[in-house]
Structure 1
């Protein structure tokens, strides 16, 4: 190869490299133009931006318009529930038995259980939704679910229910509320029933214990005749009082006996003879006979003073005295019932001044006899009371123990019954009281679709689209200000291409 041929080859190669380099530079310029954009005063770009805006606006407003035209109207009814925060207490005093108390804590007293969360879960339970839907002849899927919102640090529960019309939304909210309260009442009733069932066996045991103790007390009362321990204490008191009275009677009887004996010694007779003498001398016939006997005794004494025992006058006087004496003794026997020997011991002479003493002797003897009879009667009663008291010592102690057991059993039984009854009043122990703060409202405007919100969203999207297109239109000046060297390189590129060409 010659030297000239060797020189032409680089030239040919240089001519071939210039178009390839130009194409590469043009490709780089087109990519750079797309990324950096054109001049801000280049109106030739406007059709492209208008097309982008039209496409974006169609993409934004077509779904919104379709949604607003085709979406059905939905209405929302709202209601509010509140849980009072105070507890409740009840106390029942049973006379001579005891006290039964019932106390329900505040629903917010426990930090581990939240009644509002419990009721929120209950409001969304399937059985409540099914019951509410059934009351409106609907299925649960068509009825829908409620939107439940709890207000922090309060007992408020806000409930929202959606319907096809204002009346339908209000009816659905009312149906849900009715089903909720029905379920709450059912749960409370079931709780009370479970409590009663659990306590019924214990109450039955208490009742059987009371009946068994009562039967034992009745049997002991029938066997002993002792009704109560108080009756035994009264028996002991009466026995002690009777013993004291017997002792007093014995002392009084001793005094009367001593007085009677003193008079008997003084009068040399006893009370019975003294009473007979008083009776005899109170009889006029006997008095006349004793006077006759005295006259005959005087004549006999005079005859004996003058004559001997065998003298006829002495014998006549003796016979007259004996006749008068026999008549007097016969009358005395008739009046007193005493025999001859007793009458001979009796002083048949006129009592005279001894009458008062004999009367006192008879009176004292009568009093002594009365006291003796009373003392004997009281002593017999005392012996009977002492024997009964001794016999009733063990039964009285047993009866007192049984009555104490009966009182305890009765108190336990009555307290259990009282607690069972007061638990029926405490209905809000597990499920606190809930009240309707706001009734289901009747909506005046549809809650869905929200036209203003949709239009606002479309306007905001359109605004952001315009802002994006504006930034795209002005991106070259902005980039030139942010990256100055990039602009200088781009401006120098055409000159290099011309030089290469």
Structure 2
């Protein structure tokens, strides 16, 4: 029986081992029958690559990114204030980068991403925190720059979110600095209160001592002591002057042969015109008596009349002298009866010297009395002055410490950058011109790269039999 070939009869399948070998090794390079399978694989792979990419680019919402830059100055700041009678207050803020133990940029990086910063920024924008998202903070090495980024669906929304983060960041910095200053001030209030109590207690002790002793200050005691020493020098000077005046007066009395009281009475008596006239009358009657006695005998009536006139004039002069000087006749007998000319000047000088001696003697006595009183006051105030000096020194020290504590407390208020250094905005939140996501260019480049890798893979699969054969037939190098 002759069998004719049937065109639609099923072709015999190759053995199973041959199929596996064909899958692993591949066909010949010129086998065009493999092309549909490779083409289908390429289309399927390209579809799997480009379909998600195009779907992402078509459906993904636009996202814009706003960038902000902050900078921290590297130098510190100092200020000094001198207050007359109180002291000096100095404020100094160290450089933010003076210590290697703490990095202020890392601190501010953590603060920018803190929950309360993000919550405050979201509240200011009236949105949820999940909608705002977390700012992306980046530090630039070897610089004091801090960059952070915020995203939004529109350019203005991204910029507004950057402004909100920035405002919340600076508000939190101000709050932290204020809290630090308040904490420092509260910790120093107790010390200031103790210093104030110490000053008040010392002041009370000084007032009690002043009221009980009458000594107002150590300066008063020093003034009394200085006055006492000056008074002692003055007494020594006055004693020397008195000795000199007394010696001069004694010498002048010896030269004139009478004392100062007689000289004064003489000057007073001869200053009276009536007495001088009586002396002239006594002299005239004395001359008449002498002439009559020389011409006539002692019993002659003229001589007796002249003697009687003389005695009468002398008696009247003596009576007037007693009346003027209040002295007796014996004292008047020592009078100088010729006080005219240079002798009168000497008598006046003697009287003046006697007056000066009396005044100097009284002045010395007064000064000695004052010195005795001053010595008594010094002896009384000496223990009090020593105690008051100690109290005033304690008061000065307590007042200086109190003023210094107040100055430190006040100057610490200006040192607000001690723990949280100064930070400035180098670049305000930018207004992006194009969206940052989705990145179309990047997506296209990724798709092209994936497609190229697929084509390279298919090409290597097409020529794999040649590659495998070359590897198998490659001679092994002998050592």
TM-score scaled by structure 2?
0.87
Which residue does 1:166 correspond to in 2? 155
Q: Deviation string for 1:1-31 (max 9, x for gaps)?
A: xxxxxxxxxxxxxxxxxxxxxx9x9332222
C-alpha contact (below 8 Å) 1:207/1:413 kept by paired residues: yes
Q: Deviation string for 1:347-369 (max 9, x for gaps)?
A: 37444574343223212111211
Which residue does 1:340 correspond to in 2? 328
Larger Rg: 1
Which residue does 1:365 correspond to in 2? 354
Tell me how far 1:315 sits from its aligned partner. 7.9
Which residue does 1:177 correspond to in 2? 166
Task: Please give the residue correspondences for 1:122-161 in structure 2 after superposition, counting only pairs within 5 Å.
Answer: 122-161=111-150
C-alpha contact (below 8 Å) 2:318/2:329 kept by paired residues: no
Tell me how far 1:267 sits from its aligned partner. 3.9
Structure 2 unaligned regions, length at least 5: 1-11, 475-479
Which residue does 1:423 correspond to in 2? 412
Which residue does 1:16 correspond to in 2? none
**Change in 2 beyond 3 A, CA 1:229/1:482:** same
Tell me how far 1:278 sits from its aligned partner. 1.5
Equivalent residue pairs, number: 459
C-alpha contact (below 8 Å) 1:92/1:418 kept by paired residues: no
* 1:258 and 2:225 aligned: no
Which residue does 2:221 correspond to in 1? 232
Tell me how far 1:382 sits from its aligned partner. 2.4
Question: Match for 1:107 among 89, 96, 103?
Answer: 96
SS in 2 for 1:56: helix
Tell me how far 1:335 sits from its aligned partner. 1.9
C-alpha contact (below 8 Å) 1:90/1:422 kept by paired residues: no
Task: Please give the residue correspondences for 1:50-129 in structure 2 after superposition, counting only pairs within 5 Å.
Answer: 50-95=39-84, 97-129=86-118
Question: Match for 2:468 among 479, 489, 493?
Answer: 479
Question: How far, CA to CA, are the matches of 2:403 and 2:463 in structure 1?
Answer: 94
Which residue does 1:276 correspond to in 2? 265
Question: How far, CA to CA, are the matches of 2:172 and 2:49 in structure 1?
Answer: 48
Which residue does 2:3 correspond to in 1? none
TM-score scaled by structure 1?
0.83
Tell me how far 1:127 sits from its aligned partner. 0.7
SS in 1 for 2:82: strand
Q: Compare the two structures and name the one with the higher helix fraction.
A: 1
C-alpha contact (below 8 Å) 1:217/1:402 kept by paired residues: yes
**Change in 2 beyond 3 A, CA 1:74/1:42:** same
Which residue does 2:203 correspond to in 1? 214
Question: How far, CA to CA, are the matches of 2:454 and 2:191 in structure 1?
Answer: 79
Which residue does 1:406 correspond to in 2? 395
Tell me how far 1:458 sits from its aligned partner. 1.6
C-alpha contact (below 8 Å) 2:264/2:348 kept by paired residues: yes
Tell me how far 1:98 sits from its aligned partner. 4.0
**Change in 2 beyond 3 A, CA 1:75/1:348:** closer
Tell me how far 1:300 sits from its aligned partner. 7.4
Task: Please give the residue correspondences for 1:24-39 in structure 2 after superposition, counting only pairs within 5 Å.
Answer: 26-39=15-28
Question: How far, CA to CA, are the matches of 1:172 and 1:244 in structure 2?
Answer: 90
Structure 1 unaligned regions, length at least 5: 1-22, 486-501
